Structures are given as C-alpha cells and as structure tokens.
Amino acid sequence: DQQVVRIVRDEMLALFGETQGGLPASAERPRVIMLLGLQGSGKTTTAAKLGRWLTKQGRHPLLVSTDVRRPAAIEQLSVVGRQAEVRVHDPAGQMDPVKRAAGALAEAKNSGFDVVIVDTAGRLHIDDELMNELQAIKAAVQPVDQLFVADAMTGQDAIKSAGEFNRRIGVTGVVLTKMDGDARGGAALSVVSVVGVPIAFVGSGERLQDLEPFHADRVVSRVLGMGDVLSLIERAEEAVSQEDAEKLEKKIRLDEFTLEDFRDQLRTIRKMGPLEQILGMLPGMGALKEMKQAREQVDDKQLLRVEAIINSMTPKERRNHQVINGQRRKRIAKGSGTTVEEVNRLLKQFVQMKKMLKAMGGMAGLGKGKRPNLSALKGLMR
C-alpha cells in the first residue's frame, strides 16, 4: 500500500535527521582524516576512493597506511593509491604506526597536500592493543575527522563495533561499504540510531568511483525498493560528457543513429557500473519479484557478447545495418563466436531501440540535469 510506504519513508527520514553526507566544513590545513574499523570492512579501498573523491573536489590528498601488522597492507594501499592517482606516503623501513602517520602529516605540510587520509589497522575483534595504538595516532596527528568504516552487510557486528570505537576513540562520521549488496543499507538506520553520528559516505561497488556522499532520501528509497534515480543520473553524467550527449541527440533527431553509436551507448552503460546495480536504481526494479528476475537475466557478459557481434561487422555494416543479409549474418556470427540467432536478435533489438530513442530522446538525455534513458537494456531483458 502506497500510504504505508509513504509513512514508513517519512519515519525513516526523520530518524536520519537533516544531516547531509560528505565532510563538514573545516579551515584546518592539512585536514587529517582517520579511517577506523574492523579488519575486512574495506578501510584501505575506502581510503583510495575517498582520495579520488577529494581530488575531484579540487583537493590534494595524501594517503598513508599505519597497518604494519597485516601482511601486504601497506603495499595494498600503494596499489589502490596508484590506481586512484593519489599520492601515498610510504617511508622505507618505517614500521612504527605513529611515526608513519606523523611523517605523512609533515610531508603534507612541506609539499602542499591539504588532506591526509590515515588508513589505520583493524582487527577481527576489538582489543586494547588496537585501541591504544589508535589513541596514540590520534594524539600525534590531531584528526578533524574520525570516520568509522562499516560493512553494510555485517548488520549487528557493525553496530556493536561502531559503538565501541565511538566510546574509546571518538567517531565523527560513518562510511558504509558494500551498499550494493542484498542488505540495501538497512544497517545505516541502526548505526545512526545507536551511535548517534551522521553517515558521511556510502560505497556502492568495487570500482574506485563507487563512493558517494550519503543522501538520506536515496538510501531510504533503496531500503524500501523504490530505486535511486538521482544517484543514477549522477553516474550517467560522470560517464558521458555534455558534448557527446549533444552529438548523440543530434544523430537521433536526424535518424543517423548507427550500430557504432549503439555500441558506444552500451559501453557508456557499462562504465556506470554493474548492470544489476544500475537496474536496481530504477523505481520499481528493486522490490518486485518479477523485476528481480528480470535484473538477474541481464549481466555484463551479455553486453560483451553484443559488443563482440558489432565488432565483427565491417564499418559499412555498422553504419548501415540494412546491408546485413543472410550470408553476412553467418560471417558475423562465426567471427564473434555467437550464433546467427543472436545476430538476428541484436539487429531486431537495434531497430526497435532506434525507434524508441527517436521518440524518447535516448541517451542524449544524459546531459546535465537530464534523466538517463536505459532503453538499450530493455531488449536484453527479454
């Protein structure tokens, strides 16, 4: 019943309050951010994701790992830091956690970095040794933010440990990782109510760009299976430029949309994240049983097969699908490792989609402030 859903949604939003995600304003330079949490919660990956996000905001972050006990922890941060194109402080031979953090702060001051992200050690269970180490690091670098990183899938474990970290170290905000899982973020509600600190960020996937400031209305919509169109639009705007969107819009308007454009459109969708995750952001696709079954029928491998078929065509065939006769379809199927039936199905879907895009505005609707059109996937769900 829509009335019940609306009441539940309003109550959940009241629980989260008026707080917005991201980091609160601070004049401190360099600003030190400590990441806290149990082992396996995703702190190291979150450090790189946060560094990438801050870089996008025009900041100059520096990463440092103080986890000297876990094998390859320091190297892991170096690897993901390079992938995120964020500088990592890693003094050779220095294995004292406090000195590593203090050294990063000194480098930041000397080299013009305005944020230091400290990836601290975790444990399978909270112990005094860990807490004493974290307290010493906190005293040495005086962080502005102490963000507790929690796995959204762990439920009560995350809530209990968040409370303990808050009591012993102090937690200013929460980062919920693995929000793309089946839990859909129910843990977010519990963390807020028990710990009493705002959620700063949510991690919604494995890619380095899959970190976003927390928005209460969006998470509540996900929990209730109502989708998350705004986050979908933001992903779309990051995946395609305004200029490319306008070029595509013009092609659709002039009826010049080709299989090459179709292939580019599918690549754009893939850049936005896993297909099941994207479809889950659409209203109604998260909760209904038949919609879940439809989502499960679409996977990234199907898009790769479609791309292989298009790649096996000649430039002439891609620009004018009408020349693809029976003999050409056999050649394309053989070259792409697929079947003639799959080639036929793709061409049929392309013709249908071409008509649909002309009527609806297509992926050109990915411009700033416009809603993305994922009609390219509809044929693949059949």
Cβ-contact 62, 117 below 8 angstroms? yes
Same domain flag for 118 and 97 = yes
Same domain flag for 161 and 179 = yes
- CA within 13 Å, CB half, 234: 12
Same domain flag for 52 and 101 = yes
Q: Is the pTM of this model over 0.75?
A: no
CATH number of the domain bearing residue 208: 3.40.50.300
Same domain flag for 37 and 86 = yes
Which residue, 170, 193, 224, sits at the end of a domain? 224
What region, left, alpha or beta, does residue 126 occupy, with left being phi > 0 and alpha being psi -120 to 50 degrees? beta
Report pLDDT digits (tens) over 223-280. 666 655 556 666 676 777 777 777 877 887 788 889 998 888 888 877 777 666 676 6
Average pLDDT of every residue of the chain: 80
**pLDDT number for residue 214:** 84
Same domain flag for 211 and 93 = yes
Which residue, 171, 192, 224, sits at the end of a domain? 224
**pLDDT number for residue 299:** 61
Same domain flag for 154 and 87 = yes
Kindly give the pairing relationship between strand 31-36 and strand 115-119.
parallel
User: What number is the average pLDDT over the span 294-309?
Assistant: 73
- Exposed, middle or buried: residue 85 (CB in 10 Å: 0-12, 13-18, 19+)? exposed
Report pLDDT digits (tens) over 164-216. 888 899 999 989 887 765 445 566 567 767 778 888 998 878 889 889 898 87
Same domain flag for 169 and 294 = no
Which residue, 184, 206, 224, sits at the end of a domain? 224
Look at the chain and report how many structural domains it folds into: 2
Q: Which domain holds residue 317?
A: 232-381
Same domain flag for 313 and 278 = yes
CA 366/CA 174 separation, integer angstroms: 31
Residue 58 neighbours by CB distance under 10 Å: 7
Q: Which of 154-158, 290-294, 317-321 has the highest mean pLDDT?
A: 317-321
CATH number of the domain bearing residue 374: 1.10.260.30
CA 340/CA 314 separation, integer angstroms: 16
Report pLDDT digits (tens) over 129-178. 999 999 999 999 999 999 999 887 766 766 778 888 888 999 999 898 87
Amino acid identity of residue 51, one-letter, is G
Specify the higher pLDDT residue, 286 or 269. 269
**pLDDT number for residue 75:** 94
Give the alpha-carbon dihedral of 177, 182, 186, 190, to 10 degrees. Answer: -60
In the chain, what is the greatest distance between 2 CA atoms, to the nearest angstrom? Answer: 74
**pLDDT number for residue 245:** 76
Same domain flag for 174 and 260 = no
Same domain flag for 211 and 242 = no
Same domain flag for 325 and 240 = yes
